[in-house]
Every structure is written in C-alpha cells, then in structure tokens.
A and B are shown apart, each in its own frame.
Chain A
Amino acid sequence: MAPPEVHHLFHAPIADHSFSSDRETLAVARENIVEIWSKSNDAKGFRHLDELRGHDKTVTGVDIAPRSGRIVTCSQDRNAYVWEPTGENGAWKPTLVLLRINRAATCVRWSPSETKFAVGSGARTIAVCYFEEENDWWVSKHLKKPLRSTVTSVAWHPNGVLLAAGSTDGHARVFSAFIKGSDARPEPSAWGERLPFNTVCGEYLNPTAGWVHDVAFSPSGNALAFCAHDSSVTVVYPSAPEQPPRAVVSVAAHLLPFTSLLWSSETELLAAGYDCGVYRFAGDESGWRLTGGLEAEAGRGGERKEESALNMFRSMDLKGRGAGSADDTKLSTVHQNTINSLRVFPSSQEAVSQVTTAGVDGRVVVWTL
C-alpha cells in the first residue's frame, strides 16, 4: 500500500476542501477566504495560486463542480457565492446567491447535475439553489419541515433529486429537492415514487439522539449512512415508500466521534473525525463492523534515524530525554488534529481508489485505498 501523500498547506484549520476533477486544483476554506492551490510541476506539492475573497465571516463549505469547474462557497455570514472562471488570467467572477436565511450557512454541495446545489444552515433550513435565466440570478427554495435544528451536512442522491441532511436534532432525513423545469422526473426507487419538492422520504433518529455530523448515500443510492456525535455510524436500507426501512444497522465505535464519512463501495464505508485517522467499516444489511484504519495499513516506516552520541546528549540536555525515545509532541497519526472533511479524490474510474482528508491542522492528505 502506498503511503499517504501529505500536503501541509498552512497553520490554520481547513473547514472544507474540494479537488477539481482533473486533480490540478484544490480549493480550501481558510477563515473567511477560500484559497485556490494548484499542483506544481516540479515537486509533488501544491502551490498557492489565488484566493477568493468576498465572505466576511468564516467560510464553512466549498465545492467544485466536476464538469463546469464552478466553485460554490458558503459562510457564516449567511451568504453563498458561485465563482465562475472567466478565462482571462485565471480570474474568478463571483455571483451572490439569494439564500434568504437568517443564520449561518453550514455546508454546501453541488447536485450531480451541477444545475443546482444545497446549502444547509443554522436557521433550520436547507436552501436548494438553482439558476434563474430570466433574472440572471441564483435563487433558492427552502426545505423547512420537519427540520428542528441546525443542518450540519447535506448529501445528494445519484439521481440528483433526493437530498439527505444531517441535523443537530439527532435526525438524518431524506428529502426531495425536485425543481420543476430543471429536473427530469426521477425513476421510482425505494425512497419514493412521486417526489414533489419537500417530500420527506425518510426520517431516522440516531439511537442516542446525538448530533448527526455527516450523511452519505451509497453509490447506488439504495442505502444511507450517517455518523453522529455518539461515535456511531448508522446505515439505513429503505424497503419501499412509506414503509419502515428494511434494515437499520448501527455500529458504536470505541473511538472518538466521526465528522465525515463516504462510501468507497456498496459494502465499505470510510469515516474520519476527532480521532485524526481514517477508519474502514465493512458490512451489508445483516451487519456492519469497524475493520481497521488506513493509518495502520499504510505503515509509518522510515522515521527513525541513526543518532550520534552528540545528538543524544544534546537532545537529553534540551528536551530532558534521550533522542532514541519516541517524540511525544506529535500524534502518531498523519493528521495532527481533527479531520474536518473526507472526500473522494476525483478520478476517471468508477471505483473509489483514493480519498482525501483535510483537517484542523491545515493538512490535506491523499490516501490510497
């Protein structure tokens, strides 16, 4: 297994990150700006290219649309912007989105069709935004009921109509975000057949009612996973519209809670969070279990080096311990602080072979599965 590729960008938390589909461009949310980093040719590192300024409070979400390359950002200043590349010397043109929310925006994701996106907010609302040609303006429709608290995460179903949302009221919900005129009628699925806007297709309470940090649909869209603040990962398999789900499997981990998760295949989940590592879960309808961490698999060799007697005594003098003893000022994990976001590293292949994480320590790490 290839060791993880670590990019230490800066000494500030990364709230969210997103790679472009060609892997050349990386957008990271740093305080109230979004920084654009591009792959440098000489080394394997990234170099700072540009920054998107416009938000005046912490940016909470950033997402690059894979095909159009448009970037959407949202922030605690209650605004969202869509940034379009203009082509002239790499400049970006921002367009303000009318979110109509009175609390911070917390997360944003493009739908697979890239014609709309969803913004979760602290106003117990999800704004589903789409472009209105006649006004040349991004407008939004609100999903309100039955959200009872801040929305922490949103995730799109592969069909681009269903939207999952996790909330601090301990529920993961599945909504229809069908926009008349722009969306084609979706195929009926286990989640529902007729799906007008704001149809609630599923509402699942976490066993301990802890905050739901992240939600994700499986690649086929026929299962929903969410992770919550009680260190658990729950997978829901719906049976038919309006029916109780076929199976709800919950795994309580012995680790600290997970903040982000994704499906690498129909039978495998990856989750990362406060334990600073990425962990694998495997299973199906009959049961799920934690199978291990990517950290341990990748191994962390080559750290120890031969020490001279001079260095040993110097180290004992300066640090009060021998150079041979483990350096306990660093965590044994690659990330030195909480991982905020875990995302699929874009590739042309269908299967997920690489994932990326970004965390509070200002590192972006590319993991090979």
Chain B
Amino acid sequence: MATNINWRTINIDALDPDSSTNFDLTTLTPAVQPISTAEVQTLSGQIRTLVRGGNAEGALMGALENAPYGADDQGKALHLGVVTEVLGQIRQAEMTPILQRIYQSDNGSELCDTLMKYLYKGMGQGHPATNSTSRNMTPQSTGFTQAGGRNFGGGEGGGQAMSVLLSWHEKLVEMVGPGSIVRVMSDRRTV
C-alpha cells in the first residue's frame, strides 16, 4: 500500500525528466582518451629510463606532456609516483631554469598547469610514492580534500618529499601566478 512509503527517502531527482541526474554528464567535460594501466606502466618505464640517463628535464617534460587524464585511479596514482620521483631528482638550483624552459616551450602554460596539478595531488596524498613498491600498495582514494587519505609523518620520507613539492610549488607560483592554482581547482581533467 502507498501508506508505508517513506516520502522523504524518495529520490525525486530520478523522477524528474529534466533533472541533472538523467543526462550524460560526460558531454559536459573535455574529451579525454582512455588509457589502460599497462600503458601508463610502459610510459613510466620510459620516463624512469630518461631519469637514470641523467635527463631529468626531458623526463619531466615527457611526464607532463603525456599526463594520463583518461586513466583509472590506479594508473593515475602510478603516474603521480613517477612525477614525484622525477621532481625529487632535480636539485633546488635547477628548478627555476627548468621551469622557465618548460614555460617558454610551445604549450608551456598548459604544461605548467599540469605540473601544478601534480604538486597539489602529491601534497594531498600525504606520503608520495617514492619507489616502485607503490605499485603493490592500494592506491589512495583520489581527490586532495580527503583527510582520511593523509598520513602525516607515517612514511620516513614523507616530510622530505613534501618539502620538495613545496619548493617546486613556490617557484612555479612565482612564474605562473595564482591563475594556475585556480585552474587546478576548476579543471575537470584531473590527474
């Protein structure tokens, strides 16, 4: 009988044909190419080879140019691990010249925005993956607002990696301004 329906729990949005729950939201976001985790893995292998070869700048450029927007959580976590690893390999004194070269390249402003996304993601993560064992860990839930995913001081390298990200952040903001930070928040293509 209708008497035992709890009206308060009915999802009225589902019944409204005009409601936002009833249309495909993917049409509203920029199109991104789906990428499998295996592909991300191959890519990270290539980037690591570059780093080992001493070409950290090329590795960083490659990692930012091929940011896997279409990957799943695991793939994104994997790529984040690679990016933070590369960032950790670059010395303080080299940061600004490298950033300047990236900024002045074609599409430079876009690459800087991507880097900013990784910095925020990395800082939100609490303990950035610094080695390849991260592959066996369950990926952190995405989104840098989730306090539950944080683990301050848990990893012995956590504070170290955080200070690396912070100094990158400082140098990047000096160059691209607060506009880039706003784009991290407003961009639907998340890393």
Contact = CB atoms under 8 A, between A and B. Distances in A.
Interface of A: 124, 148-149, 169-171, 205, 207-211, 228-232, 252-257
Given A208-B30, A230-B186, A252-B110, 7 more contacts: A148-B28, A208-B188, A228-B186, A231-B179, A254-B178, A254-B179, A255-B178
A211 B186 contact: yes
Interface in B30-51: 30
Interface size class of B (residues with CB under 8 A): 20 to 34
Contacts of A210: 183, 186-188
Interface in B69-127: 109-110, 113
B7 interface: no
A176 to B, nearest CB: 21
A148 B187 CA distance: 18
B170 interface: no
A205 B189 CA distance: 13
A55 to B, nearest CB: 26
Contacts of B178: 254-256
Interface of B: 18, 20, 23, 27-30, 109-110, 113, 176-180, 182-183, 186-189
12 contacts: A124-B18, A149-B28, A205-B28, A207-B30, A208-B30, A208-B183, A230-B187, A252-B110, A254-B180, A255-B177, A255-B178, A257-B182
Nearest to B182: A231
Nearest to A208: B187
A229 B186 contact: yes
Contacts of B23: 148
Given A208-B188, A228-B186, A229-B186, A148 B179 contact: no
Chain A binding surface, main DSSP class:
loop
Given A252-B109, A253-B179, A208 B186 contact: yes
A209 B20 CA distance: 17
Contact of B20 (A149, A207, A231): A149
Decide if the interface of chain B is mainly helix, strand, loop or mixed.
Answer: helix
Contact of A209 (B30, B110, B113, B180): B30
Contacts of B113: 252
B55 to A, nearest CB: 28
Q: Which 7 A-B pairs have the closest CB atoms?
A: A254-B177, A210-B186, A231-B179, A208-B187, A209-B188, A230-B186, A254-B179
Nearest to A256: B178
A347 B111 CA distance: 44
A148 B20 contact: yes
Contacts of A207: 30
A232 B29 CA distance: 16
Nearest to A274: B182
A254 B116 CA distance: 13
Contact of B28 (A169, A228, A256): A169
Contacts of B109: 252
Nearest to B30: A209
Contacts of A231: 179, 182-183
Contacts of B186: 208-211, 228-230, 257
A317 to B, nearest CB: 36
A210 B188 CA distance: 7
B20 A208 contact: no
B30 A230 contact: no
A211 B177 CA distance: 20
A127 to B, nearest CB: 15
Contacts of B27: 148
Contact of B179 (A124, A205, A211, A256): A256
Given A230-B187, A252-B113, A209 B182 contact: no
